[in-house]
Amino acid sequence: MATTVNSPGPVFPRTADIPGSVRIDYCEAGARYLIEGQVRTWTGPCQEVLSPICVAGAGRLTQYKLGHYPLMTEAESLQAIEAARKAYGKGCGDWPTMSVADRIRHVEAFMPRMQAVRDEVVKLIMWEIGKSLPDAAKEFDRTLEYIADTIVALKDLDRTSSRFVLEQGFVAQVRRSPLGVVLCMGPYNYPLNETFTTLIPALIMGNAVIFKPPKYGVLLHAPLLQAFAESFPPGVVNTVYGDGPVVVGPLMTSGRIDVLAFIGSAKVASILKHQHPRPNRLRCVLGLEAKNAAVVLPDADLDLAVKECLLGATSYNGQRCTAIKIIFLHRSLADDFCARFCDALGKLRVGMPWEEGVAITPLPEEGKPKWLADLVGEAIKGGARVINTAGGTIDHTVYYPAVVYPARPDMRICQVEQFGPVTPIVPYDDEQEVIDWLADSPFGQQVSLFGADPQQLSEIIDSAVNQVCRVNLNSQCQRGPDKFPFTGRKDSAEGTLSVSDALRVFSIRSLVAAKATEYNEQIVSKIVIGRHSRFLSTDFIF
């Protein structure tokens, strides 16, 4: 019988039970890193990588040993920054001065090389962070699609910039230029996708990049290092691994990072920003914490609201920055909604990421089940209850989703980002309570509204759009489609990402302008006709 949220049972396999197609070998390649175009093997101290998946053996369950990665020191970080600065060449290097069409060709050369290691990367995503096999595959495919869309968007942008403008007696050409060296740091929940949605636009705009994988989700980058080395000039892409303070601190304090693309906690983002000696020169693109609320209005379609809230709160165990992390429920619906929500939740399958239809899987963060249990424990002390069967059961790295009701906004569970399968439900009487909560929240990413009354919805929409950056109607919160802007207010984000916005974020407008005299026009014409410049050019990319 399958293990579900309602009926906990043994979930972890013996090695012999793991299907051959999803078994994984110890990843020796994890000890490699990329600097100055070379994939080097690290012989220094390493960090062992344990999967969140436990395997039964010798009478006990242990986290499966997946591989190891380098614990680099300040010296290697400084080598990486040196390599990146050399490739950027103060803006005069081959890469930043290369034509857009040629840079696109490099990225196009990378894509089939990336595709070639799909199975390896997908398997590593699954084993390293416990993401289900279909979701791990989706993360990979969505990333490749994002790269393809980025190329299309850049061609569009370049076509618009390939013409001259005449304005108030000036002739000018305006294009976007790179910014310098970009440090990209993605999160563990989308270790590939959210690293690449900054890394690829940063690269294609002509910047040199250093990337540091998150604490969990490191090995999956190993199969891609050779693809980077073969597709880009030396020093354009470099990797660093290890403890953040040891390897990232020196990068920031060197003052030689021009753009920080970081997805993680506001606390770490703030430390990194302040480490830069000239913060005025540092451009930041940050994706930080969120506490997205679902608001269930009195006339909501309950089937739809339950379905979307459940998906929003539990997909990938609630470990999405866009997850629904608190539900405001109109008191008149409390019994009905809670019963239906718990019923649907109870049927979710708990198990290993490769099992068909699995929804709840092991958590990668060390000590996370206990941390969640403490959070729920505090809420219980404050008068709430876990209202679903077996909610909060812990089995090693698995935490059975807990629904906490009635939660109050002053509880810690309603204030911090739980980033896990715990759903506090707050009953409310008047919509103003929710609007006030949104306005006072330190976070401002998204909200989901469930209801049908146009007047009531409009009132909330009109205040909510000034508190968050996306209002979802009768739908869960989410980032996609990737062409939509993805951002947040307050402590939730800095800068906007989407396929086209990211190209802007990692570049700056630069122009060549001249008084439109015959003398200047002749010179500009000669430059263009003689194809002397890669910037001043009317070349049209097809």
Choices 220-228, 314-322, 363-371, 488-496; region in contact with ligand G3H by CB under 6 A = 314-322
How far apart are CB 200 and ligand G3H at their closest, in Å? 15
262 binds ligand G3H (CB under 6 A): no
Interaction mask 478-517, ligand G3H, x per CB under 6 A? xxx-------------------------------------
Rank residues 44 and 480 by Cβ distance to ligand G3H and give the closer one: 480
**Element of type H or E holding 132:** none
Report the SS3 class of residue 295: strand
How far apart are CB 213 and ligand G3H at their closest, in Å? 15
Token pair for residue 306? Answer: 């339950």
Candidates 77, 161, 173, 189; binder of ligand G3H (CB under 6 A) is 189
Residue 276 neighbours by CB under 8 Å, 6+ apart: 252, 253, 255, 257, 260, 282
140 binds ligand G3H (CB under 6 A): no
Q: Report the side by side order of strands in the sheet with 181-185.
A: 237-239, 208-212, 181-185, 259-263, 283-287, 493-494
Rank residues 63 and 317 by Cβ distance to ligand G3H and give the closer one: 317
Rank residues 194 and 258 by Cβ distance to ligand G3H and give the closer one: 194
How far apart CA 313 and CA 324 sit, in angstroms, is: 5
190 binds ligand G3H (CB under 6 A): yes
Rank residues 176 and 470 by Cβ distance to ligand G3H and give the closer one: 470
How far apart are CB 26 and ligand G3H at their closest, in Å? 29
How far apart are CB 66 and ligand G3H at their closest, in Å? 22
Candidates 321, 327, 360, 460; binder of ligand G3H (CB under 6 A) is 321
How far apart are CB 125 and ligand G3H at their closest, in Å? 14
320 binds ligand G3H (CB under 6 A): yes
Residue by residue, DSSP assigns 192-229 as THHHHHHHHHHHHTT-EEEEE--SSS-GGGHHHHHHHH
How far apart CA 255 and CA 100 sit, in angstroms, is: 28
The tokens 């078994």 sit on which residue? 23
Q: What angle do CA 52, 56, 60 make, to 5 degrees?
A: 100
Judged by CB under 6 A, the chain residues 442 through 481 that form the site for ligand G3H are 478-480
Count of residues of this chain found to bind ligand G3H when the rule CB under 6 A is applied = 9
Residue by residue, DSSP assigns 344-376 as HHHTSEES-TTSTTEEE----STTHHHHHHHHH
The tokens 């303070």 sit on which residue? 245
Phi then psi for residue 177, to 5 deg, are -115, 160
294 binds ligand G3H (CB under 6 A): no
How far apart CA 331 and CA 23 sit, in angstroms, is: 48
How far apart are CB 345 and ligand G3H at their closest, in Å? 19
How far apart are CB 323 and ligand G3H at their closest, in Å? 8
The residues of the shown chain that bind ligand G3H, judged by CB under 6 A, are 189-190, 194, 320-322, 478-480
